Amino acid sequence: MFSVFLIKYAEIGVKGKNKYLFEDALVHQVKYALKRCEGEFKVTHTDGRIYVHALSDFDFEETVDNLKTVFGISGICPVVHVEDEGYEKLAKALTDYVDKVYEDKNITFKVHTRRARKNYPMTSMELSRELGSAVLDAFPQMQVDVHRPDVMLHVEIREKIYIYSMEIPGPGGMPVGSNGKAMLLLSGGIDSPVAGYMIAKRGVKIDAVYFHAPPYTSDRAKQKVVDLAREVSRYAGAVYLHTINFTDIQLHIYDQCPHEELTIIMRRYMMRIAEMLAIKNDCLGLITGESIGQVASQTVQSLAVTNEVCSLPVFRPLIGFDKMEIVSVAEKIGTYETSILPYEDCCTIFVAKHPVTKPNLNVIKRHELKLGEKMEELVQKAIDTDQVEVIRWK
């Protein structure tokens, strides 16, 4: 029955003179998502409306599921297209629509007409009144409720005429690519994929870096991160995943620095390398999955010491979340089951038994001096190991 979808958006509508840039980005992302669907589609953008037209047979559920991954969409409305052949044909189309969509007619309704084409012979109020009467004549058991109807029947008079009443919620946010690019520090844990998802929801394109530590971390641990990047790419689009060999740096820190400071110093070098990669790849910020107080390296004092090495802004969208809130989002986006697979990443292998929770920046810097010029060589060597994969959703 449905061969057209009306794509609704919220935040984009208040962007003023720049609105067209966000609309164009949304159209681009809609087209990208539809490439994963069977069938042929045409996306049109006119008069503040985005429509998806099915040009061949298609799977309704598959199409909706993919559209629900597009940030910027607030609602997906399955629409019936009606040829403009006069009021009688329109009234018949509306009653046919109600008959097919609502098996139970013991409901209240309201007709809301939007007449964008002002040369139509009836006004919006007149159309709503007359079409409402037509529905009541066809289905006497239905009742009008103009304040809180069970069903809102929308009729849009544009170059074409559209009827719809259902709105499937979209993910909201801003279309990916409309707000620059940032580098995600992606581990195999629960938090960082969720952080990437949440920043992508604000329109930011995501690159990612993973710190691998063979032989202390296995190829299965690396594959786990690839799989997480693929899950994130369902929403964020293609993710350029950088894999950095971090083993020599970790071992050097382990040999030269106090063990209670291992995590903080290791984290500072991860941030340094991530920033170098970010700048090289035109990223405007870093993204981490840190949450205040969740572990020793995420106390306010620890985060302040970690931040000191960065010149780019560090986005921490989970900073005020508790673990259950993060898990809830991970389950919703499909990353949780992969995140809990028992393959250790480089952070957990070298964790200290009693890590410092209130590090002193001056003390940390003094201990980092013990790493000497060799550390500069190791950092450059690590960057030279960078392996880049383009990760896309299945």
**pLDDT on residue 36:** 92
Final residue in a domain of this structure, among 169, 204, 222: 169
Question: Would you say 6 is a known binding-site residue?
Answer: no
pLDDT greater than 70 at residue 96: yes
Q: What is the pTM of this model?
A: 0.91
Q: Rounded to whole angstroms, how far apart are CA atoms 333 and 226?
A: 16
pLDDT in tens, 22-60: 899 999 999 999 999 999 999 998 877 899 999 999 999
- Does one domain contain both 159 and 186? no
Q: Is residue 176 part of a domain?
A: no
Residue 48 DSSP label = T
pLDDT in tens, 235-276: 999 999 999 999 999 999 999 999 999 999 999 999 999 999
Residue with tokens 């539809």: 34
Residue 41 DSSP label = E
Range of the domain at 370: 181-391
Which residues have C-beta within 8 Å of that of residue 110, sequence separation ≥ 6?
Answer: 128, 132, 144, 145, 146, 149, 151, 152, 153
The token pair at 269 is 């070098």
Which residues have C-beta within 8 Å of that of residue 141, sequence separation ≥ 6?
Answer: 105, 106
Q: Is residue 175 part of a domain?
A: no
With 0-12 CB in 10 A as exposed, 13-18 as middle and 19+ as buried, what is 390?
exposed
- Does one domain contain both 205 and 320? yes
Residue with tokens 């012979």: 121
Query: Average of pLDDT values for 119-128?
Result: 91
pLDDT in tens, 125-176: 999 999 999 999 999 999 999 999 999 999 999 888 999 999 999 999 999 9
**pLDDT on residue 85:** 86
pLDDT in tens, 172-217: 999 999 999 999 999 999 999 999 999 999 999 999 999 999 988 8
pLDDT in tens, 317-367: 999 999 999 999 999 999 999 999 987 665 555 677 788 999 999 999 999
Residue with tokens 């629960």: 190
Kind and range of the H or E run holding 199: helix 191-200
- pLDDT over 90 percentage in the chain: 83
**pLDDT on residue 315:** 98
Question: Would you say 210 is a known binding-site residue?
Answer: yes
- Does one domain contain both 134 and 199? no
Q: Based on the structure, what is the number of domains in the chain?
A: 2
**Length, in residues, of the chain:** 394
* CA nearest to 52, candidates 7, 116, 10: 7
- Does one domain contain both 67 and 129? yes
Question: Would you say 289 is a known binding-site residue?
Answer: yes
The token pair at 12 is 């984009």
Phi/psi at 250 (5° precision): -65, -45
Number of H helices, E strands in the chain: 14, 15
Residue with tokens 């971090």: 246
The token pair at 98 is 């109600």
- Does one domain contain both 156 and 258? no
**pLDDT on residue 347:** 54
Lowest mean pLDDT among 101-110, 115-124, 376-385: 115-124
Average pLDDT, the chain: 93
CATH for 106: 3.30.2130.30
- Does one domain contain both 73 and 189? no
- Does one domain contain both 92 and 31? yes
Measured CA to CA in angstroms, residue 86 lies from 24, 104, 131, 135, 163 at distances of 34, 28, 13, 17, 15
**pLDDT on residue 104:** 94
**pLDDT on residue 60:** 95
Phi/psi at 389 (5° precision): -120, 140
